Amino acid sequence: MSARVALRDELASLGRYHSPQSPVEVRLNTNESPYPPPAAWQHAFSDAVRQVGFQRYPDREAKALRAAVGSRHGVEPEEVFCANGSNEVLLCLLLAFGGSGRRALVFEPTYGLHAHVAGLAGMEVVAEPRGADFRVDPVAGAAAIARVEPDVLFLCSPNNPTGRAEDPRTVAALVEGAPGLAVVDEAYGEFTSVSSLTLRDGSAGAEGLVVVRTLSKAWAMAGARLGYLVAHRDVVAGCQAAALPYHLSTQTQLAGVLALRYETEMAERVRAVAAAREELAKGLAELDVDTWPSDANFVLFRPRGRDASALWADLLAAGVLVRDFSSRPGLEGCLRVSVGTPEENERFLELLAGALR
Ligand code: PMP
């Protein structure tokens, strides 16, 4: 290709952010729910879709969906922005509040899309290290914020791919110290009992607080592509201005409104996944691997005395796909396994034990 069609630098490394999609028997690489949404949701959704006049554009304001999300969290619809997955939520947020000449701060290792989307939006990205246990150190974190003065601070709790939720006191202090937006990505928030949404009640820094959630994980709807943020109404208005008109299809809006009616089933799924995670962690503890505690639906582990990439390939050849982070700075030698069904987890543990022998 000629220099006139050169890819933007921000996109040159895109391949690194994607987990391969292989048609394997046991897929434990993208932190999806191992269980489908409830059958009652499936029926309600099919019925609702049959009634849609698809010749019309969707509701541009996604009023019913934002009201449903708002009532779940006790906020106004004007404080909710929805998009096609939380990745698109983040993209709209940074198109609105990022841009060249502005800085984003991330604590690595963390979810790679934060830095990637900030780069796409033209921002300078500053990466600071996490503490020894992969949590953000409150003192070092506060010092980094004072030094970098980020327009957008990213936190991720529980953190992907390391698994722990941040100490709520650390989050509160960092949000308070952030001069601009403080984005707390809670994609795995339903798996823990703590949420930064509680900081909205008059805490210092609440104006700049942005809490991001998704229906892709606990809600078992990764295929529907739906995520949202809860923030000050001016932040939401900015996101709406950056989003393309009619970006959220009628069927996505319906899927979300109906999904939120099955909160009890969601909580049951979360309990089942958390129990399976504990079994998985126990199984891993018996093997020759280092592991880290998880508050989410995945576990980070590091084989001792075995090359992680070669092990990843062996598992894949045997029909189990996990995520290879072994070449990511700070995660050398690490793999991440999503919590599957008890049968899937057992199969993974068996194969892993065999491969490590
Ligand atoms: N944030 C975090 C921390 C994630 O791990 C993921 C998915 N892996 C996302 C956001 C994006 O999820 P989605 O776009 O499916 O909502």
Written as one letter, the residue type at 198 is: T
What are 209-260's pLDDT values in tens digits? Answer: 999 999 999 999 999 999 999 999 999 999 999 999 999 999 999 999 999 9
Q: Give the residue among 207, 142, 149, 131 at the shortest CA–CA distance from 169.
A: 142
Burial of 292 from C-beta contacts in 10 A (0-12 / 13-18 / 19+): middle
Residue nearest to atom 5 of ligand 1 (CA): 160
Does the pLDDT value for residue 340 go beyond 70? Answer: yes
Domain 39-262 top-level CATH class: alpha beta
Q: How far apart are the first and last CA of the chain?
A: 48
Which residue from 134, 217, 325 has its CB within 8 A of the most atoms of ligand 1, so it is best to mutate?
217
Tokens of 295: 């508050």
**Domain boundaries of the chain, sorted by first residue:** 3-37+264-356, 39-262
Largest CA distance in the chain: 60
Mean pLDDT of 78-101: 98
CB 276 within 8 A of CB 345: yes
Tell me the pLDDT band of 21, cut-offs 50, 70 and 90: confident
Which residue from 21, 90, 111 has its CB within 8 A of the most atoms of ligand 1, so it is best to mutate?
111
Does the pLDDT value for residue 322 go beyond 90? Answer: yes
Burial 17-43 (b: 16+ CB within 10 A, else e): eeeeeeebebbbbbbbbbeebbeebee
pLDDT at 11: 79
* Ligand 1: centre distance to CA 187 (Å): 6
What are 132-141's pLDDT values in tens digits? Answer: 899 999 999 9
Answer whether 227 contacts ligand 1 (Cβ < 6 A): yes
Tell me the pLDDT band of 18, cut-offs 50, 70 and 90: low
Tell me the pLDDT band of 4, cut-offs 50, 70 and 90: confident
User: DSSP 3-state assignment of 319?
Assistant: coil
Written as one letter, the residue type at 293 is: P
User: With pLDDT > 90 as the criterion, what percentage of the chain qualifies?
Assistant: 90
User: DSSP 3-state assignment of 54?
Assistant: coil
User: DSSP 3-state assignment of 61?
Assistant: coil
Rg, the chain, Cα only:
20
Answer whether 214 contacts ligand 1 (Cβ < 6 A): yes
Task: Note the pTM of the prediction, 2 decimals.
Answer: 0.97
Average pLDDT, the chain: 95
Does the pLDDT value for residue 302 go beyond 90? Answer: yes
Instruction: Tally the residues of the chain.
Output: 357
What are 166-222's pLDDT values in tens digits? Answer: 999 999 999 999 999 999 999 999 999 999 999 998 777 789 999 999 999 999 999
pLDDT at 330: 96
Tell me the pLDDT band of 344, cut-offs 50, 70 and 90: very high
pLDDT at 171: 97
Domain 3-37+264-356 top-level CATH class: alpha beta
Answer whether 272 contacts ligand 1 (Cβ < 6 A): no
Q: Give the residue among 318, 313, 70, 99 at the shortest CA–CA distance from 213.
A: 70
Q: How crowded is residue 290: how many other Cβ atoms within 10 Å of its Cβ?
A: 13
Supply φ then ψ for residue 155, to 5 degrees. Answer: -125, 160
What are 261-279's pLDDT values in tens digits? Answer: 999 999 999 999 999 999 9
Please report the atom of ligand 1 found closest to the CA of residue 159.
3
d(CA 226, CA 211) in angstroms, rounded, equals: 15
Tokens of 81: 């922005």
Q: How crowded is residue 135: how many other Cβ atoms within 10 Å of its Cβ?
A: 18
Minimum mean pLDDT range among 12-16, 83-87, 190-194:
12-16
pLDDT at 200: 92
Answer whether 265 contacts ligand 1 (Cβ < 6 A): no
* Ligand 1: centre distance to CA 133 (Å): 22
d(CA 355, CA 178) in angstroms, rounded, equals: 46
Please report the atom of ligand 1 found closest to the CA of residue 156.
3
Does the pLDDT value for residue 16 go beyond 70? Answer: no
Answer whether 156 contacts ligand 1 (Cβ < 6 A): yes
Supply φ then ψ for residue 265, to 5 degrees. Answer: -65, -35
Supply φ then ψ for residue 182, to 5 degrees. Answer: -120, 105
Mean pLDDT of 292-313: 96
CA 30 to chain centre: 10
Helices (H), 2-38: 9-12
Contacts of 337 (CB under 8 A, 6+ apart): 28, 280, 298, 299, 301, 322, 323, 348
Does the pLDDT value for residue 352 go beyond 60? Answer: yes
Q: How crowded is residue 101: how many other Cβ atoms within 10 Å of its Cβ?
A: 9
Residue nearest to atom 6 of ligand 1 (CA): 187
Q: Give the residue among 174, 105, 164 at the shortest CA–CA distance from 134.
A: 164
Residue nearest to atom 12 of ligand 1 (CA): 86
